[in-house]
Structures are given as structure tokens and as C-alpha cells.
A and B are shown apart, each in its own frame.
Chain A
Amino acid sequence: MSDNQSLKTTGAPSLEELRAASMLTTLADLEEKACLCIECVEEIPCNPCETSCPQNALTVGSPITNLPVIDREKCILCGLCIPACPGLAITIKSVDGDMARIRFPWEYLPLPVKGQKVEMVDRQGQVVCPGVVIAAINPARNNRTAVVTAEFSKEFVENVISIRRNHEIL
């Protein structure tokens, strides 16, 4: 396991660190099929992803500090684990033609709305490309963690993690 230099100095993992933890989803993977992506590279005592999964496709097991393992045969991409993860570390990515989509957790106001033009950001919060919101849901079971889907050009899919927060100060 790498020493997670980027994670422990810049706050976010680099693509190399994610690759070393087998947690990087590449464009090639996504050309094949849509993927659940978990960026959880540190051993912390946490398993709500496992208990939230109705398909038993996510395993943390014992000890509870194990990193989660995805069974891609069982995962049906329902996305219930996205708001369940206290670390907001789970997304679902897919590619169709020239476009990519990401479903990600969102806990800021205002909640993005369908059709809204947004800026897609990388793990350091840098804007990488424009995007558009396809859906934004916040059902009661999510306990206030909304799940947003946005679409953008697929060449940026490995770097994109979220959308830019509205920085207009209240």
C-alpha cells in the first residue's frame, strides 16, 4: 500500500494512489460498463456501505477497518450506498457515446436542479469542464444527503468527482 502522500498533504488522493488501492475507475473500465466507485483508501472503523447494500455486493467484514470490496457481479448500481457513506466517498460513473455521467453525494445548499449548467471539479476542487445536472434527488431515507447526477464530456471522467460549490457568500 502506498503512503498516500497526496491524500495526506493535499487532502485528496491522486490517481496513482487510487490505482495503488485498486480504487481507480478508468475510462476503459467505463467504456465496458457503468461502475460503482469507492474512494476509501484508509483503514477507518466504518461499514455503513456494507449494511446499506440490499444486494450484499459490498463487503467490509471483520475487522471493521477493512477497506470495502465491491462484487461487481452483484452490484446493480442502485446507488443506496452513496448517501449511506459518512465519508461521501462513493459515486457511480458511466459512459455513453461521447458523454459521461456521475452520481455523487451533495450536502450543500442550494440543491442543484435538473437542467442546471454546472462546472465539474476534480478532487482538488479545480474546475475541469462544464456539465449539466440530469437529476437531483433528496428522499427522506437519504437523511439529508442529496444524490445528484451530472453529465459532461467523457474525456474528463477519471478526474471528475463533483461539481463546483456555489461560492456566493450569503
Chain B
Amino acid sequence: METERKPAIVVGAGPAGLCAAIELKKAGAPVILMDENSKPGGQLFKQIHKFFGSREHKAGTRGFEIGKELLTESLNLGIDVRLKTEVVGIESGLKVWAVENRNRSYTIEASKLILATGATENALSFPGWTLPGVMTAGCAQTLINVHRVLPGKRVLMIGSGNVGVIVAYQLMQAGAEVVAVVEALPKLGGYGVHTAKVARAGVPFRCATTILRAEGKESVERAIIAKIDSRFQPIPGTEETLEVDTICLAVGLTPSIELACIAGCKEIYIPELGGNMPGHDRYMRSSDESIYVVGDIAGVEEASTAMEEGRLAGIHAAYAMGYLDEATMKARTEETVQRLSSLRQGVFGQKRFAAKQRILEKGAAQ
């Protein structure tokens, strides 16, 4: 078997990138994992809750422990992990332009590129949104769970998806009070078991409600919320003032597609999974078959699906580089697809499953 000597380069050491690199290395392929942060793990180290899924998905394990397990595995395998290394460009011929420690720039040629760059939290603009005390839910989660700093004492959470309710719960665990969780839609977005544990702590949920403005002299002192009609317009006379010092925004995520765009991967628009993203086939290959996209960049889902997508790309890239035979690649892909499908079932999973199917259809048509 002819094997490729140039390395596969994985950009982003979150759950998807780590799993892709692990699969490549296990197959014996040369791999370099780059991440702009000083620590690998992506968002996993902020996740202090027990994950859903089955035993194969590490259900019941807290997110940061999954991060530790993946790190240990990658260290034991001897993966070349380059931290504080920002990938700023991709030139033709898969030349990856990296900046290390913000002071040394180099290019390195890859045989395959796996983009696991994640997603960025959406903001929401309203009068007062630039006041100190307004932050994304992920920011609050980083403060409490990584830096152990409580951003405020009385919090208003905007958005009731899983991110909003999980962070609301964790803010209470950190010692804050959550004054309310508001949701613009008529129904709550997150898993019922998550909302139920927040509700039983006495937190009111307000559906069909939005924030009108934040007020305060030097930082947030109060938030004014109001009911909205079916066209999302505030209903006069329903305004209510909440005394809060922190407003958290959990209003969705957008795939971080800059590098995929630079590399020329064809974009598609899938609103349910975050908007514009590179399309991909069942092996997670983008329109450029040397470039794979995995995790949130390929449609915003969750850490457990990101890990399986990373494995899919790692397995296929190892095969394409000559380090796995076709039968092994197909068998391992099938197993991984099965585990991935089991995470996309039920009332919540079906929508994501359908959206991912559309990506595959569009991806295949490229």
C-alpha cells in the first residue's frame, strides 16, 4: 500500500478535532493538530454537567472528564499538538499558513486538511447591550467553570435552548440567582429534563417574551422585558422591569467558516444548523475532497455528535492517505454512522437528522 508522507493537518482541538486526530494517529498516519488556544479541548472543559447518550457516547460522564480522556489518549498516542498556533490562511496545494505565539509565521504542506473550527455565539442587539454585564452564555460559562469567577449575582438568561438552560443551572451551582429565562418563541427550546431542574430551583420561564433594553449607569442594573406577538413585535403595556446585574445571551451559534471559505469549500445555507456552512458528504469531505469539515463548522449540534463526525473524517482521511484498507474504512465508518444516527433520533434529533440529510444531498450534488 502506497502511503502518504505529508501529514494530515487538523485545525481546532475541540472534541471533533481531537477525535479526528486520534483516529488518524491510531491508523499510523502522520498528523498535526493545531489550536489557537493555550489548552486543547475546545468547549469541553467548560462542560461540568453529565452528558446524555449511551455508554459509547460516554453518557453520564461530565464534559470536562471527556476532555481529559481525549487529551490523555492523544498524549499517549504521541500526537503532534501545536497550541497557541493560529491557522490564518490556506493556499492552493493545501499549504497551511500558521502563526505561532503571535510572533512566528510558517507554512506547512498537508496531504489532507480537517477543519474543526467550531462555531461562534450569536449576539443580540438591544439598547444597552454594550453595558458591562451583558455577555454571551458561553462567556458566563467560561468565567464560572474555567476561571471560577462569578460574573454577577442576579442573572437574566435570554434563550431557552440547551445552552441557555444548562448555563442557567450552572450559574446557580456557582452561587448566582437566575431571575428568569426568557424565550422569544411560544415554546421552550431545551430538553425538558434540563428545564425541569431549573424550574424546580424556582426560576420562572417566560415564553413569547423578549428583552427591550438594558439600563444602568456604569453596568447593567436592570432589564426591561415584554411579551411579543406572533410577529415578534413587543406588545405595549406588557413591559416588566427585572433587577439584574447580568444578562446572558444564549441565542444560537454560527459555524466558524472563515478558513473553509478561504480554502474555497462550497457553502450551503442550512438555517436550522446555524446558517452558512461548507457542505459535506457522508465521510465529512467538503466540495474539495482533500478538505474535511467536522463538528459545529459542519452544522451546529453538540459535543457528542462532533466527536463522531471527527472520527468519520479521521477514518476516511487515514484511508485516503493509504493507512487503512477499504474494508476496514467501510466497516469503521458504518459503526460510526450508526452511533451518530442514534444521537439524531427522537423529537429533538429528528430535525437535526433531516437537516444533516439535506447537507449530504447538497454535498453530494456539488
Interface flag for A40 (CB, 8 Å): yes
Instruction: Tell me, in angstroms, the Cα distance from A13 to B153 when the chains sit together.
Output: 28
Which B residues are CB-close (under 8 A) to A87?
A: 52, 191, 193-194, 196-197
List chain B residues, Cβ under 8 A from A162: 200
Q: Which of A27-35, A94-102, A117-125, A129-137 contacts B (4 or more CB under 8 A)?
A: A117-125
Minimum Cβ distance to chain A for residue B24 (Å): 27
Number of chain B interface residues as a range: 35 or more
Contacts of A165 in B (CB 8 A): 172, 201-202
User: Chain B residues near A126 (CB, 8 Å)?
Assistant: 202
Q: Could you tell me if A169 and B345 are in contact, using CB atoms closer than 8 angstroms?
A: no
Residues on A with beta carbons closer than 8 Å to the beta carbon of B153: 169-170
A-side interface mostly: loop
| Shortest distance from the beta carbon of A3 to any chain B beta carbon, whole Å | 9
A169, B175: Cβ atoms under 8 Å? Answer: yes
B207 within 8 A of A: yes
A108 to B153: give the CA distance in the assembly, Å. Answer: 16
Given A39-B196, A45-B344, A86-B50, 18 more A-B residue pairs with CB atoms under 8 Å apart are A7-B192, A7-B195, A7-B196, A9-B186, A11-B199, A12-B196, A41-B192, A42-B347, A51-B54, A63-B342, A87-B197, A88-B196, A89-B193, A107-B173, A125-B200, A125-B203, A143-B50, A169-B175
Q: Judge whether B260 is part of the interface by a CB distance below 8 angstroms.
A: no
Tell me if A146 counts as interface (CB < 8 A to partner B).
no
Please, which residues of chain A bring their CB within 8 A of the CB of B188? 7-9, 11
Hey, which bits of chain B sit against chain A, CB under 8 A? 49-55, 57, 59-62, 150, 153-154, 165, 172-173, 175-177, 181, 186-188, 191-203, 205, 207, 342-349
Residues A42 and B200 in contact in the complex (CB < 8 Å), given A52-B60, A86-B50: no
* 13 examples of A-B residue contacts, CB within 8 angstroms: A7-B196, A9-B205, A11-B188, A11-B198, A44-B346, A45-B349, A47-B59, A63-B346, A64-B53, A65-B349, A85-B193, A89-B196, A169-B176
Cβ A51 vs Cβ B346 within 8 A: no
If the complex has contacts A8-B187, A40-B193, A86-B52, are A45 and B177 also in contact, measured as CB distance less than 8 A? no
- Minimal beta-carbon separation of A162 from chain B (angstroms): 5
Closest to A162 in B: B200
A133 CB, min distance to chain B CBs, angstroms: 17
Contact A42 B193 (CB under 8 A): yes
Q: Which of B57, B60, B345 contacts A65 (CB 8 A)?
A: B345
Smallest CB-CB A-B distances: 5 pairs: A87-B193, A125-B202, A65-B346, A11-B199, A43-B346
Q: Name the B residues within 8 Å of A161 (CB-CB).
A: 200
- Say whether A37 faces chain B, with CB atoms less than 8 Å apart: no
The 8 Å CB contact of A124, one of B57, B199, B343, is B199
Q: Is the CB of B346 within 8 A of A42?
A: yes
**B187 contacts which of A9, A44, A122 (Cβ < 8 Å)?**
A9
**A45→B346 contact, CB < 8 A:** yes
Closest-by-CB residue of B relative to A10 is B205
By beta carbon, the residue of chain A nearest B168 is A11
Partner of B348, one of A40, A42, A108, A123: A42
**Chain A residues, Cβ within 8 Å of B51:** 86
Residues facing B in A28-86 (CB within 8 A) are 39-48, 51-52, 63-65, 84-86
Shortest A123–chain B CB gap in Å is 6
A residues near B165, Cβ cutoff 8 Å: 11
Are B177 and A12 closer than 8 Å at their CB atoms? Answer: no
Interface centre among A8, A9, A107, A145, by most B CB within 10 Å? A8
Closest-by-CB residue of B relative to A124 is: B199
**Residue of A4, A11, A86, A161 with most partner-chain B CB within 10 A:** A11
**Least Cβ distance of B179 to chain A in Å?**
11
Q: Which residues of A contact B55 (CB under 8 A)?
A: 47-48, 51
B175 A170 Cβ-Cβ under 8 A: yes
* Separation of A7 and B188 alpha carbons in the complex (Å): 8
Per-residue 0/1 for A147-158: is the Cβ within 8 Å of any B Cβ (1 yes, 0 no)? 000000000000
Bound CA span A65–B53, Å: 9
Asked whether, in the complex, the Cβ of B54 is within 8 Å of the Cβ of A64, the reply is yes
In the bound assembly, the distance between CA atoms of A43 and B347 in angstroms comes to 6
User: B202 — which chain A residues lie within 8 A by C-beta?
Assistant: 121, 124-126, 164-165
Chain B hits for A86, CB < 8 A: 49-52, 59-60, 193
Asked if A123 and B201 sit within 8 Å, CB to CB, the answer is no
CB-CB under 8 A from A40, the residues of chain B are 193
Q: Which residues of A contact B154 (CB under 8 A)?
A: 169
Query: Which A residues lie within 8 Å of B346 (CB)?
Result: 42-45, 63, 65
In the assembled complex, which residues on chain B have CB atoms less than 8 Å from the CB atom of A46?
52-54, 59
When distances are taken between beta carbons in the complex, the residues of chain A under 8 Å from B53 are 45-47, 64
